[in-house]
């Protein structure tokens, strides 16, 4: 019991440090280009992300700290995934930096109802990711197979093979609208390509390393979007 308590405290400490850094990075990315703190769309977006993150962390620290520990791993072992992660970081520029410049120069004219709809879908995407975490404790940030890991085919995994990516795509696909920037949609387009490539690489790895995954692929036909792909 004491060992578990110590482990939970260590995880909590690491998460708090990363959370503070993430908050500072987002603030710099949004408000520095906007040259003002009155960029309310960015504050709304940050609120959604961090309220959801706080609730998620609080829940899983109590019920499944191992999942949080897996989510903190960042070193990819698969060569293709390493490259895709590096490419993914480039999305930071169009998705999180462009909106601030857009706000300052007034490039986009997005109405408030559209921004609110964007916020709604960002929240919906995050909730899908949380649902995936509850269904699959082995949802690591990197592509790997842990000892004792089994194929999950229930819940959202009965609909598509990669429901977490579905949620992520929803989140970041609507992030430009939530931040009031049409120009940031260029980053969302790149994101779709990177997610598709990551899924193909991941399935190749899981087919050869996770028992039962090939059978699961034949039962659950769609990868990302039901009846589309």
Give me the pLDDT at residue 3, please: 52
State the residue range of the domain holding 30.
Answer: 2-219
Report the percentage of the chain scoring pLDDT > 90: 55
CATH of the domain at 17: 1.20.120.1630
pLDDT at 13 (0 to 100): 86
225 within domain boundaries: no
The answer to whether position 198 is within a domain reads yes
Q: How far is CA 140 from its chain centroid?
A: 12
What global pTM score does this model have?
0.89
Query: What pLDDT sits at residue 78?
Result: 67
Specify if 23 maps to a domain: yes
pLDDT tens digit sequence for 99-115: 999 999 999 999 999 99
The per-residue pLDDT for range 3-29, each reduced to its tens digit, is: 556 767 888 888 889 889 999 999 999
On the question of pLDDT at 140 being above 80, the answer is no
Q: Is residue 51 in some structural domain?
A: yes
Maximum C-alpha span of the chain: 56
Position 178 in a domain: yes
**Interval 88-95 mean pLDDT:** 72
DSSP states of 132-152 as a string?
Answer: HHHH-TT--SSS---TT----
Instruction: Enter the tokens of residue 205.
Output: 């790895």
Phi, psi of 172 (to 5 degrees): -80, -20
pLDDT tier at 36, thresholds 50, 70, 90: very high
Judge whether 78 lies within some domain.
yes
In a domain, 91, yes or no: yes
Answer whether residue 227 is part of any domain: no
Position with higher pLDDT, 153 vs 8:
153
- Structural domains in the chain (count): 1
State how far the Cα of 160 lies from the Cα of 189, in Å rounded to an integer: 21
């Amino acid at each position: 019991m004491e060992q578990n308590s110590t482990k939970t405290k260590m995880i909590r400490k690491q998460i708090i440090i990363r959370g503070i850094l993430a908050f500072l990075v987002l603030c710099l990315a949004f408000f520095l280009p906007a040259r003002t703190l009155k960029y309310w769309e960015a504050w709304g977006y940050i609120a959604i992300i961090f309220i959801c993150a706080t609730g998620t962390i609080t829940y899983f620290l109590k019920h499944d700290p191992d999942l949080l520990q897996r989510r903190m791993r960042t070193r990819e072992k698969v060569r293709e995934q390493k490259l895709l992660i590096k490419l993914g970081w480039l999305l930071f520029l169009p998705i999180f930096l462009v909106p601030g410049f857009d706000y300052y120069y007034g490039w986009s004219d997005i109405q408030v109802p559209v921004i609110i709809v964007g916020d709604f879908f960002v929240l919906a995407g995050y909730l899908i990711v949380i649902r995936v975490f509850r269904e699959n404790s082995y949802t690591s940030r990197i592509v790997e197979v842990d000892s004792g890991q089994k194929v999950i085919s229930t819940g959202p995994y009965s609909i598509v093979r990669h429901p977490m990516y579905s949620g992520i795509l929803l989140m970041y696909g609507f992030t430009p609208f939530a931040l009031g920037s049409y120009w940031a949609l260029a980053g969302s387009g790149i994101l779709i390509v990177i997610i598709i490539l990551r899924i193909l690489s991941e399935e190749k790895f899981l087919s050869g390393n996770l028992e039962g995954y090939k059978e699961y692929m034949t039962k659950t036909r769609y990868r990302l979007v039901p009846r589309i792909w």
